[in-house]
A and B are shown apart, each in its own frame.
Chain A
Amino acid sequence: MNEEIKTLTISIYTENNIGLLNRISAIFQRRHINIESLTTSQSEIEGVNRFVVVVNITEPQAKKIIGQFEKQIEVIRAYYHTDEETIYQESGMFKIKSDLLFDEPQIQNIIKDSNARIVTVNKEFFVLEKSGRRQEIELLRRELNAFGIMQFVRSGRISVTKKPMKITEMLQAFNNQ
């Protein structure tokens, strides 16, 4: 079996219930798996949530852990995917002093080249938003850091798979049981 550690994206479709995050994170914790990022939101199906969790583990480990997720009563289905099998993005936000826009003309070029979006500007500060791969956001952070960043935050990964997930069909099958 393939024992190479990879970055894997785990997608967990669940009922929208209190306490499920605790149940899911406990499964990682018990196996000493560090969560690189975790995002949860409404999925394509009304009332069904989707967790997107990024971890660095081997595929055999991933298979076992998927079994543990699916064993949970309120988990509908869980999958893992390699980076090649998914389209994924993160989002970063930068709060920067407005003066710098005028004092450091280079900043305007950085913004332009990075395809970052200006969310808001006022006298004190402006806010930049950049979506993309981790490296792109990191690059922008490093570039802006030279001038000073008041606040920076980056979201966890969100991702969709290239292949269909077939959750709707599965739910229909559940409902017809």
Chain B
Amino acid sequence: MEAKTMTKAKFLDQPSERITGCEAIVRSLIAEGVDILYGYPGGAIMPVYDELYKYRNEIHHVLTRHEQGAAHAAQGFARISGRVGVAMATSGPGATNLITGIADAQIDSTPLVCITGQVPSHLLGSDAFQETDIVGISTPVTKWNHQVTKASEIPEVLAKAFYIAKSGRPGPVLIDITKDAQFGELDFKYEKCTGVRSYIPVPKINSESVKAAAELINAAKKPMIVWGQGVILGEAETELKAVIEKAGIPAAWTIMGASALPTSHPLNIGMVGMHGNYAPNKLTNECDVLIAIGMRFDDRVTGDLNTYAKQAKVVHFEIDPAEINKNVFADVAVLGNSKDSLAQLLPLLNKNSHDSWHQKFKDLYAIEFEKVIKNDLHPTKEGLTMGEVLNEINLQSKGNAAIVSDVGQHQMIACRYSEFNKTKSNITSGGLGTMGFALPAAIGAKMAAPDREVVAIIGDGGYQMNIQELGTIFQQKVPVKIVVLNNEFLGMVRQWQQLFFDKRYASTEMTNPNFVAIAEGYYIKAKKVVKREELADAVKEMITSKESYFLEVCVEKEDNVFPMIPSGASVSDVRLS
């Protein structure tokens, strides 16, 4: 077969060749190094699928069971690997089904290229079958989008799409391609995009700002770092560690920053935010210099802004100028990518240890341990807790697993208690809070990093939002491990109803199906645990399984997640019960 003999390099910077638009799309993907993409065929994208069939030895198309699954799988792929995830769908409903994943990728800065088919250009605006204005619909949730109506535009537009998705602060790009552009011919020549004149992906670092930041940090008596996903996206893990260790600064993370520094690191003081750890939340309002690195002061992190770190000078390291002073005023802002900014900062920092300040975090941790963590991880009551399941997974996977969590109570427990040895190990829907994210995202993650253990932790609610992706796991033989923490409730909403709506449990109780039977229906090994004695063996069987494995754990129905900052309250009002 002709396709077999072609190598990836063949399509890059080669002399032009007359081919069809749809073949150009596939060749462009290959030239960008894409070897896996997720999607679902349909009328307006069929010419491209025909080419995918021809090039099936070079590029693996994964048929998901729903386009939303394709988008989330592409996200999982991108999040664990740092590469651009690719999703494909047909026009109309195919395209609109991608939107939730695209919106999720936009708010969590995940590099995606989504390709949608579109009705032929002469039918645009005629309410043709499966026509929808997907460029209009996706505009507010994409970093960039574009409609291609001529075959000749394809290579340049796709090159630009990949460049924009990955560079600077990453994000999703949607390219809508009309069917006539797919059928049309062009002289194909692929060159990578190296710049767009109106777009500055990475602002230049101002060395004066770095100096000013170093001065503030060196003069601080009670400095505290809060880092976010910017550290992971900028691959600045080593630099972050060096800064923390040299200056002896206790460092906390946002949910999106988790795993950039190993959980066991002595200066890792845990998660900030609504269900973050007690010490970093409380002491946010006591530190004298707050150093924010690659994070955006989301409301779930800050609580009430009027009482957030008002005593502190704020140093903000950030790649996106629009984030500076958006929510929290920065006394010193250092624009640039985290890796280079922190590398420039490091030599300017004085060696320090801040022992007595650090002790405060340890003291508050001891309180949190006594009141919350102990009972979560080593419960003495009869019912199983989500925390002890996580604890068991940590033990059995030795902290090397990538944890893909969905949204809700189990997500907070997973992020709080997972042990992370490696970066890019916490894959969750942070900003958008998309239930249904985890199952498809775990597929993408496992396929991007087949050597890693990938464990999806999902609630019984979110699981059923994209449960159809079990079909993808089965068909593709993706050895992903699925844990459903079943409390027969939409637990987080129920928790709020208990605390703030006088226990009026409106539509949060779930009558669930036989999950084990469903998994087995897809020929996936499955087990259900209802007793503590069965847990360790079941988790062990799951982790050692070479194939996909489904584990349902029936947990206490009405447990709550603490600590908690009630909505709109101050970080220092974080509650332990």
Contact = CB atoms under 8 A, between A and B. Distances in A.
A63 B325 CA distance: 9
B534 to A, nearest CB: 49
A73 B196 CA distance: 8
A32 interface: no
A67 B335 CA distance: 13
Contacts of A8: none
Contact of A76 (B164, B195, B198): B198
Interface string A54-68: 000000000110011
A64 B143 contact: no
B163 to A, nearest CB: 10
A177 B200 CA distance: 10
A67 B144 contact: no
Interface in A148-177: 171, 174-175, 177
Contacts of B195: 177
B198 A14 contact: yes
A73 B164 contact: yes
Contacts of A15: 197-198
Nearest to B135: A19
A99 B323 CA distance: 61
Contact of B197 (A70, A71, A171): A171
Nearest to B322: A67
Interface in B167-205: 195-200
B322 A68 contact: yes
A16 to B, nearest CB: 11
B181 to A, nearest CB: 15
A174 B136 CA distance: 28
A2 interface: no
B108 to A, nearest CB: 16
Contacts of B145: 19
Interface stretch (A22-30, A33-41, A103-111, A112-120): A22-30
Interface in B311-361: 320-326
B139 interface: yes
B568 interface: no
A73 B144 contact: yes
Nearest to A177: B195
B379 interface: no
Nearest to B173: A73
B450 interface: no
A75 interface: yes
Q: Is the interface of A mostly helix, strand, loop or mixed?
A: helix
Contact of B139 (A23, A67, A171, A175): A23
A71 B196 contact: no
A51 B324 CA distance: 24
Given A26-B139, A30-B140, A67-B326, A74 B198 contact: yes
B322 A175 contact: no
Interface in B127-149: 135-136, 139-140, 143-147
Contacts of A30: 140
A26 B198 contact: no
Size class of the B contact interface (CB-based, 8 Å): 20 to 34
A19 B198 contact: no
Nearest to A69: B322
Contacts of A23: 139-140
Contacts of B140: 23, 26, 30
Contacts of A67: 321-324, 326
B139 A22 contact: yes
Nearest to B327: A64
B322 A70 contact: yes
Contacts of A63: 325
A75 B324 CA distance: 19
A139 B164 CA distance: 50
A171 to B, nearest CB: 7
Contacts of B197: 15, 76, 171, 174-175, 177
B139 to A, nearest CB: 5
Contact of A19 (B139, B321, B322, B324): B139
A12 to B, nearest CB: 11
Contacts of A74: 144, 198-199
B197 to A, nearest CB: 4
A94 B209 CA distance: 56
A12 B411 CA distance: 41
A73 B199 contact: yes
Contacts of B139: 19, 22-23, 26
Given A174-B197, A175-B197, A73 B322 contact: no
Nearest to B199: A73
A174 B200 CA distance: 8
A55 to B, nearest CB: 18
B320 A64 contact: no
A73 B325 CA distance: 21
Contacts of A71: 320-322
Given A22-B136, A70-B321, A71-B320, A64 B198 contact: no
Contacts of A75: 198
A97 B534 CA distance: 92
A89 to B, nearest CB: 28
Contacts of B136: 19, 22
A74 B199 CA distance: 7
A64 B321 contact: no
A112 to B, nearest CB: 47
Contacts of B146: 19
Contacts of A177: 195, 197
Given A73-B143, A73-B199, A174-B197, A64 B326 contact: yes
A26 B139 CA distance: 8
Contact of B322 (A64, A76, A174): A64
A177 B320 CA distance: 19
Contacts of A70: 321-322
A68 B326 CA distance: 10
Nearest to A68: B322
Contact of B198 (A18, A68, A174): A174
Contacts of A175: 197
Nearest to B198: A76
Given A14-B198, A171-B197, 8 more contacts: A19-B146, A22-B136, A23-B140, A26-B139, A67-B326, A71-B321, A71-B322, A177-B197
Interface of B: 135-136, 139-140, 143-147, 164, 195-200, 320-326
27 contacts: A14-B198, A15-B197, A19-B136, A19-B139, A19-B145, A19-B146, A22-B139, A26-B139, A26-B140, A30-B140, A63-B325, A64-B322, A64-B325, A64-B326, A67-B321, A67-B322, A67-B323, A67-B324, A70-B321, A70-B322, A73-B199, A74-B199, A75-B198, A76-B198, A171-B197, A174-B200, A175-B197
Interface of A: 14-15, 18-19, 22-23, 26, 30, 63-64, 67-68, 70-71, 73-76, 171, 174-175, 177
- Top 5 closest A-B pairs, CB basis? A67-B322, A174-B197, A76-B198, A73-B144, A26-B140
